[in-house]
A = this chain, B = another copy of it.
Amino acid sequence: MNIRLRHDTIVRSLRRTGTSTVDALAQEVGASRRTVLRDICALRDAGFVIHSETGPGGGVQLDPQSVQTTARLNVTEVFALLISVATMRAAQNLPFADLADAGLAKIEKALPSDKVRDLRRFLDCLHVGQLSPLQDISNIGPMDPALLPTFEVAFLEKLYLRFQYTDAKGAQTTREVEPQAMLILPPLWYLVAWDPARKDFRHFRMGRISQPECIPGKTFRHRHVPFEDDVCPLSEMNGPRS
């Protein structure tokens, strides 16, 4: 059963009053005692911790820390949160990384089940290299956030990605690739993708990608990306080679 409006009212009332009897709750909510008991049951099933005590002076009590909230996020927003937290975690600069992780795990759980594995793998593939001091990251110019949704759809839906790429020599080509990972080596971002035309993994510098678009209907199966020297030495990634 879903958590509905009345459940929310019950939770709010319990948060306010601390302890309350079921009868009082029923009266406040405008439902029967039986229904409130059923709702409490549903809330417990949903993970809310509700203590209860029988006898005079007893009642039900909500553990405030167990209160959950439902948020409706679109994939882009989930993605942004993921990147925020992943970057933070990689940089190990907050003691809250674990907590944030727990929150993200729940977001993942709420995603269509067949997407979770991909998302998790994507996160695993989101390598954050040695961070420069924050000041350097702030002018991250080369990565245009407006392009993000396209990449994100491609990753989550496993769709081929087509884009214009200008290589280090200025030559422009059209690519159709299987996006595999994003590599963040601040302040530069890279797309790691399998290029079927060249039968090889390639690293594309984000700032050199333009007009990215998903190819509708053309999906691929994820591969594991080996970050090994024979693909492209990471040490060269910040250099002129892309």
B88 touches A84 (CB 8 A): yes
Query: Would you give the 0/1 interface string for A77-89, flagging 1 where the beta carbon is closer than 8 Å to chain B?
Result: 1111101110110
Q: Is A95 an interface residue (CB 8 A)?
A: yes
Query: Contact at A73–B69, with CB atoms within 8 Å?
Result: yes
Given that A64-B153, A134-B131, A217-B18 are contacting pairs, would A100 and B75 also be in contact in the complex, using a CB cutoff of 8 Å? no
A23 CB–B CB distance under 8 Å: no
Q: Residue on B with the closest CB to A131?
A: B134
How many chain A residues have a CB neighbour from B under 8 Å?
A: 70
What does DSSP make chain A's interface, helix, strand, loop or mixed? helix
Q: Interface on A for B, CB 8 Å cutoff?
A: 2, 4, 8, 11-12, 15, 18, 46-47, 64-81, 83-85, 87-88, 91-100, 102-104, 106-107, 109-112, 114, 131, 133-135, 137-138, 140, 143-145, 148-149, 153, 156-157, 214, 216-217
A-B residue pairs in contact (CB < 8 Å), sample of 27: A12-B114, A15-B112, A18-B217, A64-B75, A65-B75, A65-B153, A66-B74, A67-B75, A68-B75, A69-B78, A69-B110, A70-B73, A71-B78, A71-B107, A71-B110, A76-B99, A80-B103, A81-B85, A81-B103, A88-B88, A91-B134, A95-B145, A96-B148, A98-B145, A133-B134, A133-B135, A134-B134
